Amino acid sequence: MKKDFPDSSSGTPVLCLEKLTIGYGDNVVLKDVDFCVNPGDIVTVLGGSGCGKSTLLKAMIGLLPPTKGRIFLRGEEISGNVSGRALAETRKRIGVLFQSAALIGSLTIAENVALPIIEFSKAPPKMVHDIVRLKLEMVKLGGFGDYFPSDLSGGMKKRAGLARAMALDPEILFCDEPSSGLDPVTSAEMDQLLLELNESLGITMVVITHDLPSIMTISDWSIMLDRSVRGIIAKGPPDELQKSPDPRVHAFFHRQPTPED
């Protein structure tokens, strides 16, 4: 049976964006963005360069306050959380894998993964150690805790970033371009790892990507943004979007030049 894209009426979504407008000063990048993410779903956010994917991510993780609209995490508004303390409370509940993995070069992989646990929990050192070991095993980096980021390949760095993002068992995991800079095989391995974590732990994910094989492999739903309309032009399972008659959606899914705006 065909499922409709989730909205705020479909139970309690993990994340809901309501008529969100975001931008920088007078430059409106996205307006009236509405979508929800249900528990356990993987939603991919797609779109050409400059359409606002990273801007949307910044808003969803609390780094960029929306100009208008609201963001809800499990029904609780987080977009008003602009004070340091409230923002820290929100940050405890979400995990973020940044595009560059954003590991601290002077710390070992284990120390990088331990950072959020030490910062946001009262776990004693032995427990921090055990959690770090578990998280590194989860991303298949067991035994690499004492390595420094510069000792690791691109794919391993991303997996270490993933272990850090999952350190506090987040309610939702955001990933910015998890396969960028990876060769096709490593990229496919990253997709499999995300699927494995989703299936085994039920973790809800929002993944920013324009990698077509990844989109087709991991998404329950996709949201396509477009620069000319400054908003969403398509929502749905990727195999349906692939058949969309909209010329911009068609061009993206069939790797053709974008039609003139």
By a kind-dependent CB cut-off of 5 to 8 A, residue 242 interacts, out of Mg ion, ligand ATP, none, with none
Cβ proximity to Mg ion: between 144 and 252 the closer is 252
CB 28, min distance to ligand ATP, A: 10
Query: With respect to ligand ATP, which residue has the nearer C-beta, 63 or 86?
Result: 63
Q: Distance between CA atoms of 19 and 35, rounded to whole angstroms?
A: 9
103 binds, among Mg ion, ligand ATP, none (CB under 5 to 8 A by kind): none
CB 44 within 8 A of CB 53: no
49 binds, among ligand ATP, Mg ion, none (CB under 5 to 8 A by kind): ligand ATP
Does 54 bind Mg ion (CB under 5 A)? Our answer is yes
Q: Which residue number has the CB closest to Mg ion?
A: 54
The site for ligand ATP (CB under 6 A) is made up of: 24, 27, 29, 47, 49-55
- Min CB(52)–Mg ion separation in Å: 8
- Residue 87 CB, nearest approach to ligand ATP (Å): 18
Task: Check residue 217 for interaction with Mg ion (CB under 5 A).
Answer: no
Quick one: 60 or 136, whose CB is closer to ligand ATP? 60
Per CB under 5 A, residues contacting Mg ion are 53-54
